[in-house]
């Protein structure tokens, strides 16, 4: 067992950030028990079990990390994964200064001060999440992802709270037969989309460095060439995979509804209406998205603001 400390850019709250990442209490990949965030990462093909706890409060945060399953040489890779997953080095100072001058945004931000924008470890995992959650409730999408992770689970001891379920690698997903994926609850269309996505990742067609060099429009066009990736999935990937914090997935029906409720609108928003409603916060639309997600979770009693 290795133990080390990470220092996030303050302010930081592990609880809020973990919830923004996991979205539902049923998530068995990103686990949170009220004090500890846990995830099994695949590092060079080996499962590494990571546990993270916070001390020091939001203003002077320190994260105590426990790592098992891999040697000390893999610590840098694990640290990089945690910095991405939990947004540890994202400096939101400009956002907080902007929000302090905006009455409506200030109230939303103060409630969840310390949340950082999470990102999935890879673009492949981001898009697989998007495909699994298409045209179903988020709760069902999370169940499907849990089943997928369990079906590809490597031999590794379970840890406290839940079985260790790393997210499958592209080659793990390709090794699954279609009847087995159907048994997990995936439709034929989603199976085909996921398998083609995995093949694209194995062939190097999901190179994040290449996507990072593209503007939003070009990146969306390139992502939309992939089977099963439409406008919502592509924008979701820009935000949760590539970390573009000015992107609000405008086709997210739940996010639209909560945006309209936050703004006090009587009529439901469409895609264009979302863009108009968020124009004044256009540089921070993705951060508004995450804060509205936390608002919904708080309203449901999952988290304490």
**CA 50 – CA 88 distance, rounded (Å):** 15
Beta-carbon contacts of residue 252 (< 8 Å; ≥ 6 apart): 232, 236, 289
Query: 225-255, pLDDT tens digit by residue?
Result: 999 999 999 999 999 999 999 999 999 999 9
**Could you give the angle at the alpha carbon of 117 between the alpha carbons of 111 and 121, nearest 5°?**
150
Residue 82 has pLDDT above 70, yes or no: yes
Instruction: Label the pairing between strands 2-6 and 46-55.
Output: unpaired
d(CA 191, CA 61): 42
* Confidence at residue 296, expressed as pLDDT on a 0 to 100 scale: 94
Are the beta carbons of 126 and 120 closer than 8 angstroms? Answer: yes
Confidence of residue 305 (pLDDT cuts 50, 70, 90): low
Say if CB 235 and CB 244 are below 8 A apart: no
- Triad 278, 280, 283: Cα angle to 5°: 80
pLDDT at 157: 46
Can you give the pLDDT at residue 285?
98
Instruction: Please tell me the predicted confidence (pLDDT) of residue 302.
Output: 86
Phi and psi, residue 111, nearest 5°: -65, -35
Tokens of 48: 């590494």
pLDDT digits (tens, 9 = 90+) for 128-164: 999 999 999 999 999 999 999 999 876 544 445 455 7
Mean pLDDT of all residues belonging to the chain: 94
Beta strands in 44-117 (DSSP E): 46-55, 62-68
Tell me the mean pLDDT in the region 32-55. 94
Q: Which residues pair with 47 in a beta bridge?
A: 42
Interatomic CA distance for residues 42 and 287, integer angstroms: 28
For residue 153, what are the contacts with CB-CB under 8 A and spacing of at least 6?
Answer: 163, 164, 165, 166
Percentage of the chain lying above the pLDDT 70 cut: 96
Q: What is the DSSP string of 165-193?
A: -PPPPHHHHHTS-HHHHHHHT--HHHHHH
pLDDT at 122 over 90: yes
pLDDT category at 207 given cuts 50, 70, 90 is: very high
Single out the residue of 56, 265, 28, 18 nearest to residue 165, CA to CA.
28
Domains of the chain in sequence order: 2-92 (3.30.310.20), 123-240 (1.10.340.30), 253-299 (no CATH)
pLDDT digits (tens, 9 = 90+) for 52-80: 999 999 999 999 999 998 888 899 999 99
At 252-288, the pLDDT tens digits run 999 999 999 999 999 999 999 999 999 999 999 999 9
Give the residue among 250, 253, 222 at the shortest CA–CA distance from 235.
250
pTM greater than the 0.75 cutoff: yes
Q: Rounded distance, CA 175 to CA 59, Å?
A: 46
């Amino acid at each position: 067992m290795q133990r080390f400390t990470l220092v996030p850019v303050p302010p930081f709250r592990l609880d809020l950030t973990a919830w923004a990442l996991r979205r539902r209490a049923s998530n068995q990949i990103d686990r949170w028990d009220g004090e500890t965030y846990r995830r099994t990462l695949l590092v060079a093909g080996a499962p590494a079990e990571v546990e993270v706890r916070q001390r020091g409060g939001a203003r002077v945060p320190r994260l105590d990390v426990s790592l098992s399953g891999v040697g000390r040489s893999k610590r840098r890779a694990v640290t990089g994964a945690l910095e991405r997953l939990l947004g540890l080095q994202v400096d939101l100072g400009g956002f907080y200064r902007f929000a302090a001058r905006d009455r409506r945004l200030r109230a939303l931000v103060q409630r969840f001060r310390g949340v950082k924008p999470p990102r999935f470890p890879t673009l492949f995992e981001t898009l697989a999440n998007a495909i699994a959650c298409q045209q179903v409730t988020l709760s069902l999408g999370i169940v499907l992802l849990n089943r997928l992770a369990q079906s590809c689970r490597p031999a590794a001891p379970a840890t406290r709270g839940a079985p260790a379920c790393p997210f499958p690698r592209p080659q793990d997903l390709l090794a699954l037969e279609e009847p087995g994926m159907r048994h997990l609850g995936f439709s034929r269309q989603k199976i085909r989309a996921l398998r083609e996505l995995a093949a694209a990742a194995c062939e190097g067609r999901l190179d994040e460095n290449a996507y990072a060099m593209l503007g939003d429009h070009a990146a969306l066009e390139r992502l939309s060439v992939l089977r099963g990736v439409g406008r919502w999935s592509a924008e979701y990937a820009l935000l949760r995979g590539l970390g573009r914090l000015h992107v609000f997935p405008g086709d997210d029906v739940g996010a639209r509804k909560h945006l309209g409720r936050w703004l006090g609108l009587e009529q439901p928003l469409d895609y264009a209406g979302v863009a108009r409603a968020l124009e004044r916060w256009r540089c921070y639309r993705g951060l508004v998205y995450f804060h509205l997600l936390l608002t919904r979770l708080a309203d449901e009693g999952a988290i304490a603001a």
